[in-house]
Structure 1
Amino acid sequence: MNLAPRTVVPEHRQVVRAVLNEALESKLGGEVVVKSTSVSGRIFVVERKVAWTVLTGPGARSFSMALIDARLVSREDVEQVMAECRKSGGNFCETLVAWGLVARDTLRDLLCRHLGGQLDTLLGLTEAQALFVPQPRSYASQMTFQLEELAPPAKPSGTPLPLVMPSQLPPLSESEATVNVKQVLEEALKIDGAFSVCLADANSGMTLGSSGSAGFNIEAAAAGNTEVVRAKMKTMKTLGLKDRIEDILITLGEQYHIIRPLGTREGLFLYLALHRSSANLAMARFRLADLEKTLQL
């Protein structure tokens, strides 16, 4: 039996906490999706504990960048661990420990602080929508947390933690930007049904990064569809439409292909291919829009 997601319309500032508590009380666990005008996020719940969070918005940083900033690992270490996890299906944190890169206690402490900071931001949103999607998940790690470990009890009043705006962040170096693109593409592959993704340039047809199934030539697909992107942009100019293209959907018999032009870099677009049989199109478009915000180029 398929369980329908439950949407909660925000009536007060504790809506995210209320939906998260609902997820933590569920025997199945699942995913809490949070969206507001300034920031979005996902909270993964396994066995009534918080296993992971993903924050999308100004100033958001991944856990791998937190490890690098803390000088616990190098970018090369992160890339090698991620490659191993893709190959073996292993857990990122457990692989770091197994390889002797970070001590378990040190890693757990940093992960607790990282997830706690992201939860503070999400729980502090004054206007947000929250969606609990019940979904049983297997999680190959014991690094999960009680809510009390990550976030203090709700207060009747207060001010949400400020987010760091992009203008306050130092510009990324070329190597940092490369890591950022890889991380975004890896996150895109976690979307239900996704099997290949790339970042491409509509002007040249070149692919700036790709990930996914070796049996599908995503670079060729993106290059071939640059004409689609350019033609649509040209048509909008001809019609005098002062608007932006959010995404372009190509529906095949067994696949969905989603093209999402970047709002921050004209000419660049994300290209995501999904299996229709296992994809949730609405959720895929929502997640791809979120991931676009995390690209720093």
Structure 2
Amino acid sequence: MNLASRTVTSPPRQVVRAVLHEALESKSGGEVVVKSTSVSGRIFVVERKVAWTVLTGPGARSFSTALIDARLVSREDVEQVMSECRKNGGNFCETLVAWGLVERDTLRDLLCQHLGGQLDALLGLTEVQALFVPQPRSYSSQMTFKLEELASPAQPPSEAPRLEVPQSQVPPLLLEREAMANVKQALEEALKIDGAFAVCLADAKSGMTLGSAGSAGFNIEAAAAGNTEVVRAKMKTMQLLGIKDRIEDILITLGEQYHIIRPLSTRDGLFLYIALNRASANLAMARFRLAELEKTIQV
């Protein structure tokens, strides 16, 4: 996989915008991974348009929360739609429209506003890293946007806003603090497995990393994002073959490393991804320990 990565301390808007333009010009599409000292995010690009953004950190909130805050849907509505999407792989926004919960034009306007706000926040980060991960994917919705529909015009470095949200206005984080602490503890324990040097918990649907730990010299988040297609392809193949079973784990054997993907049995769509040095790893023990750690994760 060809990955393009850039790191700068200033000016922030130019580097993120440049990598995003690279993604938008790519025929294959993919995602732009953005990370600063306090906030990170992902921008998903399909057919040279922005399809979705994910922002994590103080002040971040999901689109479903925005819908609830706007009193367009209830929390119960969101849970039912998400459950349906997990079952059939449907698109969240398209399902909302199909169920008659929100009018398409209203939903598109709110989505444009939400994605635009998140994108503007990512473009305004300082001490930022930006990585383009080419990743062809289909997208079952026409609610995609050109960059000029979402992002504010580029500003001089001195005028680039910082992502600062008054403490009194900070909405709930994407994960509750207790869940984040639980995930962090599980990942730290995973690093104690013989040979382990990087591990993360990722979402197979979006490629988003919910938590990571380990070597700064190995981009475990990019590895997990790239291998979401492996998980999806295996699940699709099982459906085609009529195999009614769950994936226990997927092993990728490299010359000097083992990579193990272990989907969570307790949370559909999430998986652990761990990288180990072959020279010092005991594969059987690593799989056993990972299976035990999976049981401790609560998200």
Same fold (TM over 0.5): yes
Unaligned runs of 5+ in 1: 196-212, 219-251, 260-270, 277-296
Separation (CA, whole Å) in 2 of partners of 1:177 and 1:9 = 30
Residue correspondence of structure 1 range 100-179 to structure 2 within 5 A: 100-156=100-156, 157-164=158-165, 168-169=169-170
Structure 2 counterpart of 1:273: 272
2:203 paired residue number: 188
The two structures have a TM-score, normalised by structure 1, of 0.61
RMSD value over aligned CA atoms?
A: 3.5
Distance 2:31 2:96 in 1: 24
Counterparts in 2 of 1:38 and 1:133: CA distance versus 1, 3 Å:
same
State the Cα distance separating 1:130 from its structure 2 match: 0.3
Question: How far is 1:28 from its partner?
Answer: 0.8
Q: Is the 8 A contact 2:59 2:172 kept in 1?
A: no
1:171 CA drift (Å): 6.7
Q: Which moved more, 1:161-170 or 1:96-105?
A: 161-170
Is the counterpart of residue 87 in structure 1 residue 102 in structure 2? Answer: no
- 1:181-202: CA deviation from partner (whole Å, max 9, x where unpaired): 9xx9x9734345577xxxxxxx
Give the C-alpha shift of residue 160 in structure 1: 1.4
Conserved 8 A contact 1:257-1:272: yes
* SS of equivalent to 1:107: helix
Taking structure 1 as reference, are residues 127 and 171 closer, same or farther at Cα in structure 2, changes over 3 Å only? closer
- 1:217 shift after superposition: 8.6
Q: Following the alignment from structure 1 to structure 2, what is the Cα–Cα distance between the partners of residues 167 and 79?
A: 27
**Partner residue of 1:55?**
55
Q: Name the CA distance, whole Å, in 1 between partners of 2:59 and 2:151.
A: 20
Contact 1:126 1:160 in 2 (8 A): no
Tell me if 1:12 matches 2:11.
Answer: yes
2:95 partner SS: helix
Displacement of 1:8: 1.2
Report the CA distance shift for 1:115/1:27 in structure 2 as closer, same or farther (over 3 A). same
The whole-number CA distance in structure 2 between the counterparts of 1:75 and 1:102 is 14
**Conserved? CA contact 1:33–1:41, under 8 Å:** yes
Structure 2, unmatched stretches of 5+, are 184-200, 208-223, 232-243, 250-256, 265-269, 276-298
